[in-house]
Structure 1
Amino acid sequence: MKRRELLLRSGILATSIILGCSEVKEEGNMEIYDGEPKINGGEPKVYVIKTDNRREGIEKLLKYFKIEELKGKTVAIKANYNSDDPFPASTHPDTLDAIAKELERVNAKAVLAERSGMGNTAAVLKNRGVFDILARHGFSAVDLEGHNRWVRIEAEHWKRGFLMADIFYESDCVIQTCCLKTHRFGGHFTLSLKNSVGMVARHAEGHDYMKELHTSEYQRYMIAEINIGYSPHVVILDAVQGFSKGGPESGEIINPGVILAGNDRVAVDAVGVAILRLFGTTPEVSNGPIFSQDQIKRAVQLGLGVSEPEEIDVVPVNDDATEICSEISSELVKRS
Structure 2
Amino acid sequence: MESLNTSRVAIVNTADRQTGVAASIRALDINPVKNKNVLIKPNFNTADPTPGSTHNDTLAALVEEIWKLGAKAVTLGERSYPPTREVMEQKGVIALLEKLDVRLIDFDSLAEKDWVKIDLKDSHWEDGFRVARPILESECLITTCCLKTHQYGGIFTLSLKNHVGVVPTTRHGYNYMRELHSSPHQRKLIAEINVPFKPALVVLDGVEAFVDGGPATGKRANGNVFVASTDRVAVDAVGVAILKSLGSNESIMKPKIFEQEQIARASELGLGASSPSHIEVMAADEYSREYRDRVAAILDQG
For the aligned pair, the TM-score class normalised by the smaller chain equals: over 0.9
Query: Could you list the per-position Cα deviations for residues 175-198 of structure 1 after superposition, in whole angstroms to 9, with x for gaps in the alignment?
Result: 000000100110000000000000
Instruction: Give yes or no for the alignment of 1:113 onto 2:80.
Output: no
Residue 236 in 1 paired to residue 209 in 2?
A: no
1:127 maps to 2:90: yes
Q: Write the deviation string for residues 225-248 of structure 1: whole angstroms up to 9, x where unpaired.
A: 011121111100000110000000
Task: Say which SS state the counterpart of residue 113 (structure 1) adopts.
Answer: strand
Residue of structure 2 equivalent to 1:308: 275
Q: Please state how far the C-alpha of 1:60 moved relative to its aligned partner.
A: 2.3
CA contact (8 A) 1:42 1:305 kept: no
Classify 1:173/1:179 alpha carbon distance in 2 versus 1 (closer, same or farther; 3 Å).
Answer: same
Distance 1:76 1:98 in 2: 15
Q: Give the equivalent residue in structure 1 for 2:237.
A: 270
Identity over the aligned pairs, expressed in percent? Answer: 41
Alignment of 1:138 onto 2:101: yes
Matches within 5 A, 1:178-327: 178-327=145-294
Query: Could you list the runs of 5+ residues in structure 1 that have no partner in the other structure?
Result: 1-40
TM-score (norm 2): 0.93
2:38 maps to which residue? 75
Q: CA RMSD in A?
A: 1.6
* Mapped contact 2:161–2:190 kept (Cα < 8 A): yes
Please, what TM-score do these two structures have when normalized by structure 1? 0.84
Q: Counterparts of 2:244 and 2:17 in 1: how far apart (Å)?
A: 23
Deviations 1:278-310 (A, max 9, x none): 111111112221100000000010001111112
In the alignment, the residues of structure 1 paired with residue 218 and residue 266 of structure 2 have an alpha-carbon distance, to the nearest angstrom, of 26
* Structure 1: distance between partners of 2:196 and 2:49: 28
Give the aligned residue type for 1:82: N
Unaligned regions of 5+ residues in structure 2, if any?
Answer: none
Q: Which residue of 2 aligns with 1:8?
A: none
Q: Is 1:97 matched up with 2:60? A: yes
Q: Rate the CA distance shift 1:43–1:231 in 2: closer, same or farther, 3 A.
A: farther
Q: Give SS of 1:194's match.
A: helix
Query: Post-superposition shift, 1:205?
Result: 1.7
CA contact (8 A) 2:12 2:288 kept: yes
Distance 1:287 1:121, change over 3 A: same
Secondary structure of the residue aligned to 1:177 is strand
Which of 124, 137, 140 in structure 2 is aligned with 1:170?
137
Residue 152, structure 1, aligned to residue 126, structure 2: no
Aligned equivalent of 1:33: none
Tell me the amino acid that sits aligned with residue 290 of structure 1.
Answer: I
Q: Following TM superposition, by how much is the alpha carbon of 1:58 offset from its aligned partner in structure 2, in angstroms?
A: 1.3
Amino acid at match of 1:210: M
Q: Secondary structure at the match of 2:50?
A: coil
Contact 2:17–2:58 (8 Å) recurs in 1: yes
Q: State the secondary structure of the residue aligned to 2:271.
A: coil
Kindly provide the amino acid, as one letter, of the partner of residue 151 in structure 1: V
CA contact (8 A) 1:104 1:137 kept: no
Asked if the contact 2:131/2:167 (under 8 Å) is kept, the reply is yes
Give the total of aligned pairs: 294
Q: 2-side partners of 1:49 and 1:69: how far apart?
A: 20
Larger Cα Rg: Structure 1 or Structure 2? 1
> Which of 274-283 and 105-114 deviates more?
105-114
Q: Which runs of 4+ in 1 moved over 4 A?
A: 64-69
Deviations 1:201-241 (A, max 9, x none): 11112110000110000000000001112111110000011
Deviates more, 1:65-74 or 1:206-215: 65-74
CA contact (8 A) 2:42 2:54 kept: yes
